[in-house]
Amino acid sequence: MAVVARSRVIGASARAVWELVVDPHNLPRWWPDADRVEGVEGEPGARHSRFTLVMSTSGGRPVRADYRCPEQGAGRRLVWEQQLEDTPFAGFLRSAAIEIRLDDAAGGTSTVTIEARRRLRGLSRLGSPMMRRATGRTLERALDGIEGVVPAGGGRR
């Protein structure tokens, strides 16, 4: 299983970051290439909540990815598991999940860690080094997005 994680100290409280990341409707504000979110079911961050993330490829073609929240931890940990069955992603992924962890840091800041876990299928495993690099860049851009939306001191813009 390929695991890629990136962490950063963000100049806002963990609570302010949580308010942003827990609600799937906010993904277009901070997640790279996210255009919109559809079909949100359940309360934001609640176990078994679901949503569809619509992203754009570099060629402008829409790509849909369905997620569910199998677990979350009281304003500190959130897991989104991608639903792969009967999707084009099933051709090269056995499993895919994103985990976000928040920890308080000094001076009202927080440490945000985003971890992507992906298990590739079949010959796709040969592309693991490229996938790890691309995933790392995506996670860095996601942290840039969070930092750009949640201002220093806590509240949302």
Domain residue ranges in the chain: 2-148
What class, spelled out in words, does domain 2-148 have in CATH?
alpha beta
Alpha-carbon dihedral angle through residues 58, 63, 69, 75, given to the nearest 10 degrees: 30
Please give the average per-residue pLDDT across 126-139, as a whole number: 80
What's this model's pTM, rounded to 2 decimal places? Answer: 0.86
pLDDT for residue 11: 93
Residue 156 φ/ψ, nearest 5 degrees: -85, 150
| pLDDT tens digits, one per residue of 82-105 | 999 888 777 778 889 999 999 988
| pLDDT tens digits, one per residue of 24-83 | 999 999 999 899 999 999 888 788 899 999 998 888 889 899 999 998 888 899 999 999
Give the Cα separation of 2 and 124 in Å (integer). Answer: 12
* 17-30 per-residue burial string, b: 16 or more CB within 10 A, e: under 16: bbbbbbbbebbbbb
